[in-house]
Amino acid sequence: DTAVSQTPKYLVTQMGNDKSIKCEQNLGHDTMYWYKQDSKKFLKIMFSYNNKELIINETVPNRFSPKSPDKAHLNLHINSLELGDSAVYFCASSRVPGQPATNEKLFFGSGTQLSVL
């Protein structure tokens, strides 16, 4: 029944490795996001997709590549992981087509805590 689910919840890996985080939403939303929360709890948007199309791409290293196979899924692949990539990554979704009143709030997954050693 989880609305926005992301896996894995914890990810511990060595520097230089490549890893992926998966996200799925069952809310019928057509916009999905990736946010990064650092150790000081500051939350910053990385990407947003609307109906599989990349809409927002903040200043993120190109080692980060989002992929949206369909509007219910938005995965995040990270190449050549660095120590500074350690953070909690949140997936979120919003916007039910045709229902503007519900479009403006985000629904978040429970986060993936990434630790790069």
Question: 33 or 85, CB closer to another protein?
Answer: 33
The three-class DSSP label of residue 54 is: strand
Size of the site for another protein (CB under 8 A): 30
> Alpha-carbon distance 34 to 73, whole Å?
11
Distance of CA 83 to the CA centre of its chain: 19
Question: 69 or 100, CB closer to another protein?
Answer: 100
Among 86, 96, 107, 115, binds another protein (CB under 8 A): 107
Instruction: Say how many C-beta atoms besides its own lie within 10 A of residue 69's C-beta.
Output: 9
The label of the residue with tokens 């087509």 reads 97
**Residues of this chain, 26-85, that bind another protein according to CB under 8 A:** 30-31, 33, 35, 40-45, 48, 50-51, 53, 55-56
108 lies in the binding site for another protein (CB under 8 A): yes
Question: 40 or 70, CB closer to another protein?
Answer: 40
Considering only the C-alpha atoms of the chain, give the largest distance between any 2 of them, rounded to a whole number of Å.
45
Token readout for 13 is 């890996």
12 lies in the binding site for another protein (CB under 8 A): no
Question: 18 or 58, CB closer to another protein?
Answer: 58
